Amino acid sequence: MSDSTALKAKLGLDIFKPGGEPHIKIKPGMEKDPRLQQAINICPAGLYSTADKGGVVLNIDGCLECGTCRIACGTDVLEWSYPEGGTGVQFRFG
């Protein structure tokens, strides 16, 4: 597993502009779907994790808008859109 403190520090180097509603949501009732389980390892920002009561939770802060979770888990389990214009990650180098 990646070191989550180090990953957070790395994400801390990026510029994020706050937005409104989370732009990616786990569809209600899908928290325990095995497809979501895969997001835990695959998300480059480490934003998916296992909840105490089982199932997967997503904390959207630090989302790189990379699209991996949409491709890997699919739209049956995720409600996925880009954040509103002018919010979210703003790369200075890319």
Spatial CB neighbours of 45, under 8 Å, sequence gap ≥ 6: 7, 11, 62, 63, 64, 66
Q: For residues 4 and 30, what is the distance between their CA atoms, to the nearest angstrom?
A: 25
SS3 1: coil
**Among 50, 59, 71, 79, which residue interacts with another protein (rule: CB under 8 A)?**
71
Phi, psi of 68 (to 5 degrees): -60, -40
**Among 42, 55, 57, 60, which residue interacts with another protein (rule: CB under 8 A)?**
42
The alpha carbon of 29 is separated from its chain's Cα centroid by a whole number of angstroms, namely: 18
> From the list another protein, ligand SF4, none, which binds 56 (C-beta under 5 to 8 Å, kind-based)?
none
Using CB under 8 A as the binding rule, whether residue 18 contacts another protein is answered as no
> From the list another protein, ligand SF4, none, which binds 86 (C-beta under 5 to 8 Å, kind-based)?
another protein
Residues 3-42 that bind ligand SF4 (CB under 6 A): 24
Residues 52-71 that bind ligand SF4 (CB under 6 A): 63-69
- Look at the block and give the residue holding tokens 């979770």: 69
By the criterion CB under 6 A, which residues form the site for ligand SF4?
24, 43-45, 47, 63-69
